[in-house]
Amino acid sequence: MVLMEISGVFSSNAHSSYPQVVLKEAEGDAYLHIVIGRFEAAAISMAHGKQQPARPISYDLAHQILVGVDARVAKVEITDLHESTYYAEVHLVDDEGKTHVLDARPSDAIALALRFSAPIYAAAEILQEAGHAPPGEEEQPQADPKAETVIEPDPTVDPEPMAESMAVSQEELSTITAPAVDHLEQLKRRMRQAIAKEVYEEAARLRDEISRLEEKE
């Protein structure tokens, strides 16, 4: 197994409307691009960016439950790539020190690993087959419902990485008035809260309002 690290979470590209989590070889230059769901992308992005949601999401709850029974995620592994599908395993250690290996989607495994500060590994064979493109240069395999799938209910909001979707440049700030900035920031804050609470319809409405106001500027 090869130790990996999070390179980033990307909302979409020209080839796919679904987000990708990109893993980079810790001591090399190989990358894995794994297409994941929008909610999972937001969960990974928040944990990677050390951002706290207004209310715990499902992965935060899973973390609290495991900690509460003296269990922990020791590591996760991206184990296989079969017919364009990535597979993963979560290695869970219970209160007696016994290790349990659980089948998981890569996105779920990664989201849990980040919350336990657990290492993420990938099989060397996967890197040889699909792991030699930096972010943005190659579309990697998508997946089926057992691992990761692009055929899923489509939420009404695209939760891009929070730092990207909420960012306002200095040049943009200099062209708008203070009241407008205050109003936009309030809308963005409300959208972040809606995403954290999984109220996607409200988040989409706020996103559209933010886009409309920013286009006027």
Predicted pLDDT of residue 160: 42
Q: Does 75 map to a domain?
A: yes
Q: Is residue 135 part of a domain?
A: no
**Same-domain status, 119 and 212:** no
How many domains, the chain? 2
- Residue 91 belongs to some domain of the structure: yes
Range of the domain at 205: 166-216
pLDDT at residue 74, as a whole number? 97
121 and 66 within one domain:
yes
Q: What is the pLDDT of residue 131?
A: 67
Is 27 in the same domain as 79?
Answer: yes
Same-domain pairing of 40 and 102: yes
The verdict on 32 and 101 lying in the same domain is yes
pTM: 0.62
pLDDT, position 119: 97
Pick the last residue of a domain from 70, 102, 130. 130
Assess whether 189 and 95 both reside in one domain: no
Q: How far is CA 169 from CA 9, 140, 175, 181, in A?
A: 20, 31, 10, 12
Please give, one letter per residue, the 3-state secondary structure of the chain: CEEEEEEEEECCECCECCCEEEEEECCCCCEEEEECCHHHHHHHHHHHCCCCCCCCCHHHHHHHHHHHCCCEEEEEEEEEEECCEEEEEEEEECCCCCEEEEEECHHHHHHHHHHHCCCEEECHHHHHHHCCCCCCCCCCCCCCCCCCCCCCCCCCCCCCCHHHHCCCCHHHHCCCCHHHHHHHHHHHHHHHHHHHCCCHHHHHHHHHHHHHHHHHC
Domain match, 175 and 105 both: no
Comparing CA positions, the residue from 161, 137, 126, 121 lying closest to residue 19 is 161
123 with 170, same domain? no
Please indicate, yes or no, whether residues 176 and 119 belong to a single structural domain of this protein: no
Question: Do 98 and 171 belong to one domain?
Answer: no
Distances (CA, A) of 205 to 158, 185, 196: 12, 15, 15
Q: Is residue 160 part of a domain?
A: no
Residues of the chain with pLDDT under 50: 138-147, 149-180
Instruction: Supply the pLDDT for residue 142.
Output: 44
Supply the CATH number for residue 56's domain: 3.10.690.10
